[in-house]
Amino acid sequence: MRLAEIFGANVRRVRLKRGMTLESLAAEAGLAYSYMGGIERGQRNPSLDVAERIARRAASPRPTSRPSAGTTKPAKKAA
């Protein structure tokens, strides 16, 4: 297995484990989703800068679907 294939398989594994879509990871990394798909399939050979961007976005904490209690500002009353 080539290094590009190993890297791509690892990107896909982490992405799926974190519940991310291909499109969302690509957007967060500033890449076209078709390019990201090629990376995951081992058909593209990303630069180290691109690999770092993917790794940082895949490892970043995911926002929750709702804010935690006490983190939102109260709504202003209409006058």
pTM exceeding 0.85? no
Q: Is residue 70 part of a domain?
A: no
User: Which domain does 17 fall in, by range?
Assistant: 3-59
Per-residue pLDDT at 68: 45
Please name the residues in contact with 54: beta carbons below 8 A apart, sequence gap of 6 or more. 11, 25, 29, 31, 36, 39, 46
CATH code of 44's domain: 1.10.260.40
Q: Is residue 75 part of a domain?
A: no
Q: Which tops the pLDDT comparison, 64 or 30?
A: 30
At which residue do the structure tokens 């990376």 appear?
A: 39
Domains: count for the chain: 1
